[in-house]
Structures are given as C-alpha cells and as structure tokens.
A and B are shown apart, each in its own frame.
Chain A
Amino acid sequence: MSGTGVASVSVALAGSGGAGVMTAGNLLLQATAQAGWYGLMVRSSGPQIRGGEAAALLRIATRPVDCLDDRFDLVIAVDWENVHRFADEIPLDARSLMVGDPDHGSPPEVFAQCGAPLAQIPFKRMAKAIPGSWPNMIMLGVAARLIGLPPETLKSIVRKSYKRGAEGLAASLAAVDAGVSAAAELPETLRLVSPRRAEKPRWLITGNEAAGFGAVRGGVRFVAAYPITPATEVLEWLAPTLASVGGALVQAEDELASINMAIGASFGGVPALTATAGPGLSLMTEALGLAVAAEVPVIVLDVMRGGPSTGIPAKSEQGDVSIALNGLHGDAPRIVVAPTSIADCLTATQWAVHLAERLQAPAIVLSDQYLGQTRAVVDRPADVSFKAERVLAVPHAEGYKRYAATESGISPAAVPGTPGNAYTAEGLEHNERGIPSSQSRDHLAQLAKRERKLRQHDYGRHWAEVEGQGDTAVLTFGSCTGPAREALARAAEQGVHARLVSMRLLSPAQPERLAKALAGVRRVLVVEQNHSAQFHRYLRADFDLPGEVRSFHRAGPLPIRPDEIYQRITEWSRA
C-alpha cells in the first residue's frame, strides 16, 4: 500500500436475493476493520423476506464515519437484474466506476446516464471455473483490489468466518484471488490511504447491539420482547446475553403484553426494557401513561422506521418525535433520549436506564433503522458510570408514603418483599399513600411531583453534544448528527465555521442549556428526517431560539446527505 490515495471510499455491492451481497459486504467491512480502517455498512433490501434484491452500502475511511457519503465511488453488481430499485440510494456520477457481469444484464438507465464508466467482469462464469465457489467471492476480491485492501487480510477474515468444510473454503479463497486478479487492470483511483495505526481499541457493532449492551450495562435484567422490524435484533442479541448475566427475556404475545410485562417486572424491582418500532410504540402508549402515574421505571427503545401505520418497515425515518414527546393522554412527563451515533446507542441507552430508574419514570430511547441496523467500525465508547439506582424505601419505614410529595419529587419506592411498606402501585390518581383520589389537591400535588422530579434533575453534560464555534448553528438529533457533523467539517475547510448541537435529551426539555449552547448564534438550521418538521415544531414550542431559524426536514427513507446540509449552511452564512 502506498501513502497516497483517498480518505474515504463508498462502495455499493448489489445483486439479486441469494447472490450473497450481504455476506460479501460484511466480510469486506470486517476485513477493512482488521486492516485498520474505519467504516460502516448499511443494509438495503427489497420488501421480500428472502430472495429479493439486496444492496450492501459501504463506506470505508481513514477516520470514523457516522453516515453514508453523498455519492458512491463504486458499484459492483453480481447481476443487474433488479439493481434499478436501488438507484435512488446509490447516487453515481461521472467519477464513479461501475463493475458488472456482462452475462447478466446491463446497468439501469439512470446509472448509465450519469457517465460513470463500466467495467465488465463475468462473475458467474469465473465462479463456475472454480468448482465450489460463488460469484460473491469474486466480487469481494474485485472490491478489495479496487480499494487497496491487502488480499491476505481479506482472506484471513474469509477463513475465520467460513463454516462449511475445507474444500469450500479453498474454493472461496481461490475465488477471492481470481477477483483480485480480474481487477488488476482497473483504475487505481479508488485506493484508500493506508490506515493509521489504531491508537484506541475499536469495535465492530450495530446500533441495535450497542443499545442492547447499554441496557445490560445500565442494569436491565428483564426484557419483554415482541418481534418487529427494525428492532428485532436488539431483542435477539439480548436473549442469550441477558441469560448469561442472570437476567431473563420473555417473548410476549403482543406489544401490549410486552410493555405491561416490563412494567410488572420493574414494579418487582428489576430494571426492565422492551424494544420496538412505531407501531409497537403506538400500542404501548397507554401503559407508558401507567408507568408515569404509578411511577414505575421502564425503558422503551424505539427503533424508528418509516410511518405512519405499517409504513416502510425496513427503512429509516425520524417520524416518532411527536408520539415520543406527546403521545400519552393526560399530563404525562416522560424521559426521551436520542442516541447521537451508532456507538452512542450504547451510552444513550445506558443513560436512559439510569434516568428511568433514578426518576421512577418511563424513558423512551429514540433510535432509528439507520442507527440500529448499520454495522460500523467505531472507537470503543468511553465508559460511563450510569447505573440503575432506584431510591428504595427502608423496611418498616415509619408512616410510609409511596407517593410522598417530596421536594425533589422522588419518593422512595418499596419493592415487593420489603416488610412493612406494602402499597398499591396505582394508575388511578392517588394521594401520597397511593390511595385512589379524585380530589383536586391530590391531583395537583401528584401532577406537580411527577413534573418536578424530571425538571429538577441535573442532567449534566450528556444532555447534548455541542461542538464548534460560529454564529451559525445546526441543531439536530439522532441519525442526522452524522451528516451534520460531516457537513460542518467540510464547511470549516471552506472557512465557514458553525456550531453543531445534537440533542441527546429531548424530554424534559432543557431550554436554559440550549440557550447557553446557542449564545451569540444568529442563524439556526434545524435538521431532521421527517415530513412535518416534528423536531422543529417541538423546538418552537418549548424553547426560545436565537436569531433566524430555518428548518431543513425531509422524510425518509433516503438518508439526509452531508452535502444537503453543507449547501444550506454555506449559502446561508454567505448571504
């Protein structure tokens, strides 16, 4: 490898279902990670369960990356049959390179029109010539050669992950070599700069795994699960993991059951979580109100997908902001936390567990399909000490009042098994003892208590990520943080300096903290991925934003690209 080359390369591997593009993508990501680069891989597939078209969208870089790039440098198709369905997701231009099998169709019209040259490699014929091999391994060799990944590193990963017999492995390795050779004549413009020696330990992880890990680290030991795309992997990761740390996961009959099971377990003193997506969150809202009223901590991880209704199950959108912030009846203060990156799914979820338990309230973690299902090479997240620490009542507490209207609003919780403090956790409005009451003074006192405990808590520096300087700011949350950060880095290279504020804590709102973070700012660009600017409307309602405020919002499923933010920020700040 030479010291020259590109700092980031974007590669799309595509083909029909069963062609093995996801396997190839995962191996490529693992191998580049092994070689020392950073990167990520977004899985994109059609609506079919199996057998539909698929694309592995990769970005490999010399530094950590949190989002896909604006365009792709390289698209390799095992076959072109249904690749047109991904045309919107794989933007190409004249500098891109297309590689395909001439025996299996030709690039879709939109690709051909962009002016990118096409290299022909007969993947299937080449695979046939190596008995026992598959075209996706040829593709993998081609990709490795084009981006400058040492074949030996790739082959060591293939060896490690191969699970079917020595003959098949030898064929796969031969196919990789054949791919490397076949690409020898192709341009070398896409080769990456050699990776720097990794100074810090790195992880290869998805946001869904990170969220599950954060939950376990925070102290969650009960999970109720109902499968739903794109949250299922969280639950599947947690099932064996929880058992290995002394917890339990139970599959519920529906989301109404899963949230109520979690609340029941937490009433028993065991920190509890469920993970779902929009349709499940809709079903859970009634029980979340119970958790507010009865003051039972519970964590709901919402891996957002396109909505409303069944929507677009396997694609990302930040459309659940409003339901997360406002979707309960009555005045129901709750905690809403949004991870700012794939790796932050760990910290944000761990923090949410801590906050829910500390404040005896439900916490919603707003992840999304992009954060959840994208696998990325990340620096090992810094350890945080957030733990589930519920304030518990001592046995035989004198004149015990479960819902005592304390100054902090937090009243010691008695866990079943504690003698002398039995009470009834109550969804009816109640007095301090938990006895149902419809009297005005009890209602006012309990509403105020529940609001006070969330408002008075010191959320510390974790409420947001605040970066950069300048009188222009991008204000965003969740998976838009990655493209926003990249856009501002590009703007800075052009001499346009702006701040980035990515809010991790959406509820309770922190207007004073935000005002401080935006002090001196004259222009605020609010960025989010949904159709009706839900985040912007929330900011308008609960905050005083300085200067001129503009909203850049667009629905999924296409990701917000760095360039879209870059253009808006640079044009605006020069205006």
Chain B
Amino acid sequence: MESRMSSAAAAAPLTWQAFKSDYKPIWCPGCGDYSVLNSATKAFATLGLRPENVAVVSGIGCSSRIPAYTSCYGFHGVHGRALAAGTGLKIARPDLTVLVAGGDGDGYSIGGNHFLHACRRNVDLTYVVMDNHVYGMTKGQPSPTTEPDWDSKLSPGGTGLRTFHPLVIALAAGANFIARAFSGNPNESAQILAEAIRTPGFSFVEILSPCVTFRPEQRDWKNLVRPAPVAATDDPARAARRIMTDDGFNIGVLYKGGRKPYQPPSGKATKHLAELEAEFTI
C-alpha cells in the first residue's frame, strides 16, 4: 500500500520550475541562455520526466554552466568533451535522459571531432548548442560560427575564415534529428527540445542565443528569425538543400530521420565470472 502511494506520488507531473535549482546563474543580464534554461526545463516537465532521471552534461563556456542551474544531475566537465562524457553516460546508463549542452566554441571548435562522431554514432541523446558566434567567457574572441570580418583584439580585422555550418555538418555526419531554435521564443524552443528528446538517436538542436555583451548587434536576431517555411523532412538530400540555402534564421525541425540508435552489444550477462578463467587454464 505504502509503495503504491509513493509510486503514485512519484508519477505526479512536475512543474518546469521544479527542474530549476536555487543557484543563481552567472550569466549577464539579457543573455539568451536564461531563456534556453527555461526552455529545457519546460521540455523536461512536458515530457513528464523526473529530475533524478535526467542528466545535463556540459563542457566549458558561459552556456556550459547550465547543468548546475537545473535540479537534475549535472556534469560540468572539461572544455570540448561534453559529448564524449554524455555518450559514455548514456551507453552505461541507457535508462537516463541525457541532455548535452554547450556553446559554439566548445562544440564546434575544441569539441569539433566529438561533434562529428556523436552525429555518426547516433547514441540516443540530445545535444543543444547555444550559438552566439563568440567566445564569451574569455571576453570576446571569434568562434567557428563568427563572421569572417568580425573585428576583435585576438583577430584584428576579422579572421577571414569561412563560418562553420553546424547543421549541414551534422546532417552530413549522420545526425538523426536536426533543428534550429531561437532563445527569444522560449515556448517554441521548449517544444523543439521536447521533440528532440523524444526522438530516438542523436538529436541536434542549434539554439541562436544572443550574447548581448560582446555581440550587442545580435539583439536584432529577434527581427530576423522566422518559422521554417516547410515541415521537417526525412529525406537527407532535401534537408541538405534547405539547410545549405537558408540564411541561418529558419526556425524549426529541419530534418528527422529514422536511424536506429547506437547501443553496443551488452545487456544480459551470459557468463559467470568464474567461467572466464577457463580460456587461460592449462
């Protein structure tokens, strides 16, 4: 009886606020990441998850501070390796919901190799990149998504480098779910995140999240974003065309495939430990 009551209590849906911690974010006033935090917690609540069954995994950067601001289990690791840590966690603990989060420098520059391989490995987790086209924590250096002519102390006159196109690369590398969201529309972002989490396999959500401190011109993003004109496709060729040709401000789910998530052979133990020594015994 008692256990039935406690399981009934455990099943009671939680508000999104219940997924937030009481720890005050270090983010600047006006930072888009506040809104991403709200969207993520709303997505968890919508899906009826419990904080103890969710792990939020990150690397280093402003946005990578997000795990501690949730009431979930958090992992704040080293720069660029969040996807690796999240992958290990999900493979070892398939029962958990794993959300990996970070910024454009963390994910596309130092963590670029893991991004490629997480897309192709297709482990069932969701990767959120809060993209503000700048390194904020180190006070304003160009990231892979920064425009080539953006002037900074580290790259006077701009880097002169092509910008990295994360969605195209995710598609080419095999990500199973690809979406773009905007932090200024938290409810819509929450819906996109919920769908990303619900979809089996590796889901990649790029959230345009302005850095009002080092990229104040990004305040204008709210005037540039628009819903993607067509619904998500499961055809990679069509998705590639769309993602290649859009201007980076189409919002919504852009690609949703049907690849089976990766899980290495494991599960039921078929051998007793004592049996293992037979292969060595003379």
Spell out A's residues near B (CB within 8 Å).
Answer: 33-34, 198, 201-205, 209, 213, 216-217, 221-222, 224, 241-250, 252-254, 256-258, 260-270, 272, 286-287, 289-290, 294, 377, 380, 414, 416-428, 434-436
Contact = CB atoms under 8 A, between A and B. Distances in A.
Contacts of B86: 264
A435 B84 contact: no
B87 interface: yes
* B-side interface mostly: mixed
Interface stretch (B36-44, B160-168, B270-278): B270-278
Given A422-B74, A426-B76, A257 B84 contact: yes
A241 B276 contact: yes
Contacts of B277: 203, 213, 380
B75 A209 contact: no
22 contacts: A203-B281, A224-B88, A245-B271, A246-B267, A253-B114, A257-B113, A260-B78, A262-B88, A264-B77, A264-B85, A264-B87, A268-B88, A268-B92, A287-B77, A416-B73, A416-B96, A417-B53, A420-B52, A423-B74, A424-B67, A427-B78, A436-B65
A244 B282 contact: no
A203 B84 contact: no
B269 A244 contact: yes
B74 A253 contact: no
Interface residues of B, number: 51
A294 B113 CA distance: 24
Given A204-B280, A217-B273, A272 B96 contact: no
Given A244-B271, A290-B78, A425-B76, 20 more contacts: A202-B281, A204-B280, A213-B276, A217-B273, A221-B92, A244-B270, A246-B268, A248-B264, A253-B114, A256-B80, A256-B113, A257-B81, A257-B84, A257-B114, A258-B84, A269-B92, A294-B76, A416-B93, A422-B72, A424-B76
Given A256-B81, A416-B52, A264 B92 contact: yes
Interface of B: 10, 23, 50-53, 55, 57, 65, 67-68, 71-78, 80-81, 84-89, 91-93, 95-96, 113-114, 116-117, 263-271, 273, 276-277, 280-282
A434 B67 CA distance: 11
Contact of A264 (B80, B89, B117, B276): B89
A263 B269 contact: no
Contact of A270 (B10, B80, B93): B93
* Interface SS majority for chain A: mixed
A236 B81 CA distance: 24
Contacts of B264: 243, 248-250
B95 A261 contact: no
Contacts of B87: 250, 257, 261, 264
Contacts of A33: 282
A251 B85 CA distance: 13
A443 B154 CA distance: 32
Given A203-B277, A270-B93, A377-B282, A246 B74 contact: no
A72 B192 CA distance: 71
Contact of A202 (B52, B114, B263, B282): B282
Given A216-B276, A416-B53, A435-B23, A260 B77 contact: yes
Nearest to A267: B75
A297 to B, nearest CB: 13
A254 B81 contact: no
Contact of A290 (B77, B91, B92): B77
Contacts of A205: 280
Given A257-B117, A423-B73, A267 B85 contact: yes
